[in-house]
Structure 1
Amino acid sequence: MRATNFLRVLNKQFLGIAGDAANAVTNKLKSPSPPAPARKPAFIDAFLYKMKKNPELLKNKQIWSRRSTILPEFVDSHVRIYNGKTFIRCKITEGKVGHKFGEFALTRKRKAKDQPNAKVKQLKKKK
């Protein structure tokens, strides 16, 4: 039994309180719960923050800041996001709001799956 609960039981026995009055006393003795942790604000690059007021400036703009958060003001605009080598064109929709720009510009190429018939075709061409 925790020390605070033990003290509450002793207080009830000492005061001779039972029932609803005992619950009222223990509720008064409870310490307030700690505040919930605050959430960090979304990161937005300075030049994107300026475009927040006028989203028309964002149309077909090149973006290097992959860590910036997509805001609702940017919906229905096309941007080009840098992936480390080239710029990837991306249309911002409502579903992308709250995500980062970098999530929609992949930095690695997808591997093509080897098909079992591909090796057979190569062997036939050699003959």
Structure 2
Amino acid sequence: MSRSIKKGPFFNFKLLKKINRLLFLKSKKVIKTWYRNTVILPIFIGFTILVHNGKKYIPVFINKEMVGHKLGEFSFTRSFRGHSFKKK
């Protein structure tokens, strides 16, 4: 289910505060986060965010097509190892 329009998109204020600090300093430092449910805002464009997938941090470079999606959509938690095959 999607979030109510009245409530607006969910984003973490700590992550937004870090992005604003980097914008003020004009730095492109990488930010680590565990908040996979944060909606990508237009202010995030051009930054690389390391999103935790449960085991390690996956780098996600934010571009304008990602705005409105969640960070967890770009950090996969499962890896496909292939189908099993039958031996003859």
Q: Common fold, TM-score beyond 0.5?
A: yes
- Secondary structure (helix, strand or coil) at the match of 2:16 reads helix
Structure showing the higher strand proportion among its residues: 2
1:106 to 68, 72, 76: 76
Q: Runs of 5+ in structure 2 lacking a partner?
A: none
- Secondary structure (helix, strand or coil) at the match of 1:76 reads coil
Instruction: Quote the Cα distance in structure 1 between the aligned partners of 2:9 and 2:63.
Output: 18
RMSD across aligned C-alpha pairs, in angstroms?
2.3
What's the counterpart of residue 81 of structure 1?
51
Instruction: Quote the Cα distance in structure 1 between the aligned partners of 2:81 and 2:57.
Output: 20
The sequence identity of aligned pairs, in percent, is 32
TM-score normalized with structure 1 length: 0.54
Give the stretch that moved more between structures: 38-47 or 60-69.
38-47
Matched, 1:66 2:66: no
Cα deviation for residue 112 of structure 1 reads: 2.4
Q: Determine which structure has greater relative contact order: mean sequence separation of CA pairs < 8 Å that are 6+ residues apart, divided by chain length.
A: 2
Structure showing the higher helix proportion among its residues: 1
User: What letter matches 1:44 in structure 2?
Assistant: F
Q: Which runs of 4+ in 1 moved over 2 A?
A: 51-59, 111-116
What's the counterpart of residue 48 of structure 1?
15
Q: Runs of 5+ in structure 1 lacking a partner?
A: 1-37
Deviations along 1:82-110, whole A, 9 cap, x unmatched? 00010001110101111111110000002
Greater Cα radius of gyration, structure 1 or 2: 1
Aligned residues: 81
Instruction: Quote the Cα distance in structure 2 between the aligned partners of 1:99 and 1:111.
Output: 27
TM-score normalized with structure 2 length: 0.75
